[in-house]
Amino acid sequence: MVRFLVRSVVSTIITILLVSIGLFVLIEVGSGDISVKILGVFSTPEQRASYRAQLGLNAPTWQRYLDWLVGNDWRAKSRMTYPLITLKNPKTKEVEWWADVDGQATRWKMDKGELKRLVRKEDGFSKVMPAESDWIKGEGTEEFFWGVDNRNNAVKFVKGSGEEVWVLTKAGLRKQGDGPREYIPLRKGLIRGDAGLSWQYNRPVSMILKPRVRNTLVLAGVAFVVVMPLALFFGILAGINEGKLLDRIISITSLGATSTPEFVTGIFLILIFGIWLKVLPAVTMFTSSNAIFENPMMLALPVMTLTAVELGYVARMTRASMVEVMDSAYIRTAIVKGMPYWRVVFRHAIRNALMAPITIIMLHVNWLIGGVVVVEVIFGYPGLGKFIFDSAIFGDFSAIEAAAMVTVLIAIITRLIGDLAYTLLNPRVRYA
């Protein structure tokens, strides 16, 4: 068992790495110039180039992948005069990079050709101090300095040669003189728990992703708890009544529900219960961040939609499996030897009949987590599927990668649970 678990963990890590590389390549090939998406189509090539430099997109592909995976602060550290530290912003709770100058958190900027220190105060704001003495002599007459700017980049300033840079503000792009020559957008890397910055929202991915994952887990969890017992129950019922009226009714209904796409089911449910009868909330309106707990009724229609789609799959799979088992010799033997029918079904048939549905169920957990985009869009549900979709459209690299890591992790955990369930149901299956 221990060996089995170790093997699972190792294969999980390899799978995650492969998925992340695969996604990285796809994004690299598939999405266009990200700076156009961020800056808008009216930006000029010069502005885009400046912005790409600030995002660190000029680095080679492999380096950007490594930066994302293991971070790049060690790379910046070797160039900087002062050690790097991370601090939490007291208001936004976002992690910020600073340099430690004799115990004082410091950043730098160049203003009218002069280097200035921004020394952090208690409240998270900073005061400006002169820092002309920080310049370091380089080759020839060049004087330079590697510091941290106020957008979490390690930057290289060159004395007397400030770059004209384009900075993105809410009022659009603005040109600033005295910019740095080189940028390293600082990050710790995924393996040290930093999922990077979302380009689309300009906030750390982990902060945006968390509520999405929670919402999705709640929806998927409720749907799972509703669908699976129902599906197994109807599947078994149909299976042991093969060919009878009850079987026909269950089979036809579940086939109908499953073959209707979820956007049709969803819209009909909205029309009937939300707009016509007005008994259930038509869409999930998050009037507060905990709205799903305050008003759980708004989950009713999305769960009903997912139930309609899911029920049929699992029920039909269970039915088929049940029919097969009920046909087998040992069941016939048990019945013939006079064992009570219900005991045959519960003690002997079900355990064997559940093997196949469990595979399906576990695969569908994953679909419930990341693949219910359509349901999320119809009901306006802020979940993970929609997040992945939007990020992919935008080409938001860190966001897609992080979200994909979550789904891969869930896929692997459910596979593990599925495997364990097999061993419980069928003692012949043992993992060495």
Partner 1 sequence: MEIIKRKDRKDAHPYIPELKELYQKGRVTRREFLRNATLLGMSAAAAYAFISPFAPKKAMAAAMPKRGGTWKCGMSLQLIDHPARLSWTEGANVVRQVSEYLSDTGPDNITRPWLCEKWVASEDLKTWDLYIRKGVKFNDGQVMTADDVIFTMNEWLNKDVGSSMLGLLSYWGGPQNIEKVDDYHIRLHLVSPNIGVPEHLWHYPGVILPRNFEGDFIKQPVGTGPFILEEFAEGERAVLKARKDYWKMGEDGQPLPYLDKVMYISMSADAGLAAFQSGQTDVHYHPRPSDYLALKDNPMAKILTVDSSYCYPIRMRVDLPPWDDNRVRTALKLCQDRKKTLQLAAYGLGKLAIDAHISPAHPAYCEKPIPAYNPKKAKELLQAYASEKGLKLPLKVKLATKNDEAEPEIAQTLKQTALAGGFDIKLDITEAGGYWDRWTEVDLGITSWTHRSIATMVLPLAYTKESIGAWNETRWYDDEFSALLKDAEAQLDVEKRRSIMCKLEDIMQERGPIALSYWVQIMEIVNKRVHGMEAHPTHMHTTLRSTWLDG
Binding site for partner 1 (CB under 8 A): 41-42, 91, 169-172, 174, 201-202, 208, 270, 274-275, 278, 281-283, 285-289, 377-380, 382
Shortest CB 208 distance to partner 1, Å = 8
Decide whether 32 or 60 has the Cβ nearer to partner 1.
32
Coil/strand/helix, residue 136 = strand
Minimum distance, C-beta of residue 269 to partner 1, in the bound complex (Å): 10
For partner 1, the closer CB: 189 or 266: 266
Shortest distance, position 278 Cβ to partner 1, whole Å: 6
Distance, CA of 330 to CA of 332 (rounded, Å): 5
Rounded to whole angstroms, the Cα distance separating 420 from 425 reads 9
Shortest CB 15 distance to partner 1, Å: 31
> Closest approach of Cβ 177 to partner 1, in Å?
12
Q: Which phi-psi region, left, alpha or beta, contains residue 37 (left: φ > 0; alpha: ψ -120 to 50)?
A: alpha
Segment 398-401 long-range contacts (CB within 8 Å, at least 24 positions apart) = 398/68, 398/195, 398/196, 398/197, 398/198, 398/199, 398/205, 399/198, 399/199, 399/200, 399/201, 399/205, 399/208, 399/209, 400/23, 400/27, 401/20, 401/23, 401/24, 401/68, 401/190, 401/195, 401/196
Q: Which is nearer to partner 1, 171 or 336 (CB)?
A: 171
Alpha carbons 323 and 317: distance in angstroms, whole number: 10
In the complex, the smallest distance separating the C-beta of residue 357 from partner 1, rounded to whole angstroms, is: 33
Query: HEC string of 360-423?
Result: HHHHHHHHHHHCCHHHHHHHCCCCHHHHHHHHHHHCCHHHHHHHHHHHHHHHHHHHHHHHHHHH
- Looking at the Cβ atoms of 200 and 366, the one nearer to partner 1 is 200
Q: Give the residue with the Cβ less far from partner 1, 141 or 287.
A: 287
> For the packed helices 329-336 and 300-327, what is the interaxial angle rounded to 10 degrees?
80
As measured in angstroms, the least distance from the Cβ of 298 to partner 1 is 9
37 vs 77, which CB is nearer to partner 1? 37
Residue 108: helix, strand or coil by DSSP?
Answer: strand
Toward partner 1, which CB reaches closer, 99 or 269?
Answer: 269
- The closest alpha carbon to 144, from 81, 83, 70, belongs to 81
We find the least distance from the C-beta atom of residue 281 to partner 1, in angstroms, to be: 6
Nearer to partner 1, 71 or 302 (CB): 302
